[in-house]
Amino acid sequence: MRRLSRKKTLNLVKELDAFPKVPVSYVETSAIGGTVSLIAFTTMALLTIMEFSVYQDTWMKYEYEVDKDFSSKLRINVDITVAMKCQYVGADVLDLAETMVAAADGLVYESVIFDLSPQQREWQRMLQTIQSRLQEEHSLQDVIFKSAFKSASTALPPREDNSLQPPDACRIHGHLYVNKVAGNFHITVGKAIPHPRGHAHLAALVSHDSYNFSHRIDHLSFGELVPGIINPLDGTEKIATDHNQMFQYFITVVPTKLNTYKISADTHQFSVTERERAINHAAGSHGVSGIFMKYDLSSLMVTVTEEHMPFWQFLVRLCGIIGGIFSTTGMLHGIGKSIVEIICCHFRLGAYKPVTSVQDGHTNNHLPLTKNSIHSTS
């Protein structure tokens, strides 16, 4: 009884087989089928390789939300060289209310030579080329995000030559912390001094002929310092054409959380608009000579996350490729075989078509005489 029940169960399972087997003796191969199979296998191999490369790649996902963090401090990273001696210039930050001066104790004033060495000039030229490509191809920013902490440092390399030229410029570099409100970071003539009604700079003792606000921005960023990230103003160089000249940068800062497989950092992206003009009070162009960076913070925060295709999705896509190619090539092979058979049958029927001729208005439907028909008539 048990053997009988097992046999019935086995027969039932066999009837449910969705993949019936065809005996080898019933299988017919052809050159056309072999060619189609070769094309199908080649296509499957190419698409599998391409799909595997897509599986290995990652992409950046951007999400937007309201920034609710207003109590923390904003870090500003600065590395700017001004073509004036350090005793003649001063840098500080003033917030939106213009009543509190942020102390710039984290900044270092270093006397340097304004002209770059050949190696430094080549570095700056390369950085400017990258900046121009980033403006044309915005997708390159994703590559920079993924290569953060892995690529080379974007800092200006030290001079390789021992120049005997005396220092004629001042490099202001370091970082400082400010409130997360709109503010104005500026470099102008004279050191900043506190004032009950705001702040002021001791510029009276500096001659106007020594004013030269030609400058080079080697680095300017907001938030956590992330090596490998190129910011919009990195590598910028401006040459003043007048002693009394104002350079203005209007910056919109966007808080950004960067989460990749290499790093996780709270940094900031920013966009900038530039403007420069000569100060001429007689012509109605009023202002103060210097470099002014007016920044404002966006209310939106961007979360940039590096994502990878799940393995199960890769398997599903791979099965879809293999099954789709098998089905498509099978249909194309069947259609092509049918067309070939129709054409061949048409030519065969044409070869055995009876000869008809019209003589004296009568139709001759007799077939041409063969050897067998001659013997039969005789």
| pLDDT bracket for residue 151 (50, 70, 90) | low
Is residue 102 within 8 A of residue 187, CB to CB? The reply is no
Compute the 3-state secondary structure of the chain and give helix, strand, coil in percent, each to the nearest 5: 35, 35, 35
Q: Cα–Cα distance between 208 and 144 in angstroms, integer?
A: 43
Name the band, by pLDDT with cuts 50, 70 and 90, for residue 220: very high
Over residues 227-264, the pLDDT tens digits come to 778 888 998 999 998 888 999 999 999 999 988 887 78
Spatial separation of the C-alpha atoms in residues 270 and 298, rounded to whole Å: 9
Is the predicted pLDDT of residue 94 greater than 60, yes or no? yes
The 10s digit of each residue's pLDDT in 336-372 is 778 877 887 766 666 555 555 445 545 455 445 444 4
Q: What is the pLDDT of residue 179?
A: 85
Lowest mean pLDDT among 131-140, 170-179, 283-292, 321-330: 131-140
**pLDDT at residue 374 greater than cutoff 50:** no
- The confidence band for 205, taking pLDDT boundaries of 50, 70 and 90, is confident
The pLDDT > 90 percentage for the chain reads 19
Q: Is 152's pLDDT higher than 80? A: no
Classified as helix, coil or strand, 229 is: coil
Distance CA 213, CA 81 (A): 9
Q: Which of 220, 156, 236 is nearest to 186 (CA)?
A: 220
**Residue 32 near residue 330 (C-beta atoms within 8 A):** no
The yes-or-no verdict on residue 376 having pLDDT over 70 is: no
Q: Where are the domains of the chain?
A: 29-59+305-347, 68-298
CA distance 236 to 220: 10
Averaged pLDDT of the chain: 79
Residue-wise pLDDT for 62-78, tens only, equals 899 998 887 888 899 99
Give the pLDDT confidence score for residue 350 in this predicted structure: 61
Residue scoring higher pLDDT (177 or 13): 177
Cα–Cα distance for residue pair 213/80, rounded to 1 Å: 11
Reported as a pLDDT band with limits 50, 70 and 90, residue 2 is low
At 83 the pLDDT is 92
Mean pLDDT of 155-161: 77
Q: Please give the model's pTM, rounded to 2 decimal places.
A: 0.69
Predicted confidence at residue 355, as pLDDT, reads 52
pLDDT on residue 162: 74
Taking a C-beta distance cutoff of 8 angstroms, is the pair 185, 91 a contact?
yes
Which residue did the predictor score with more confidence, 246 or 329?
A: 246
Q: How far apart are the first and last CA of the chain?
A: 79
Q: Phi, psi (5° rounding) for residue 354?
A: -65, 145
Residue 36: is its pLDDT beyond 50?
yes
| pLDDT (tens digit per residue) in 178-201 | 888 888 999 998 877 766 666 777
